[in-house]
Amino acid sequence: MLAPKAFLDALSDQASRLFSNESSQPRAEIESQFRALMQGAFSKLDLVSREEFDSQMVVLARTRARLEALEQQVAELDARINPATPES
């Protein structure tokens, strides 16, 4: 998936190609209007930046590792408190 800036650049390039022959407005004005339109649409969505997503993935990985360690400790303590009866 493209980064937001690259996505907007690609969309504005495509729009400028589409409207280049059909409009009397200069290309730069069409691109800026289209970019503003798309940024407005994206701002209404509940999106996070790639950096924030990556940061949260690191936090999640640390939390998951800590949870697994705690689960192991609980299992060890449970085994000490409730030892299994030896099979005869």
pLDDT bracket for residue 28 (50, 70, 90): confident
Same domain? For 59 and 19 the reply is no
Average pLDDT estimate for 71-80? 95
Task: Give the model's pLDDT for residue 77.
Answer: 95
Same domain? For 53 and 70 the reply is yes
Domain with 79, as residue range(s), is 48-83
Task: Give the model's pLDDT for residue 65.
Answer: 98
Same domain? For 24 and 57 the reply is no
Task: Give the model's pLDDT for residue 12.
Answer: 73
pLDDT bracket for residue 69 (50, 70, 90): very high
Q: What pTM was computed for the model?
A: 0.48
The H-assigned helical ranges of the chain are 4-19, 27-44, 50-81
- Split into its structural domains, the chain has a count of 2
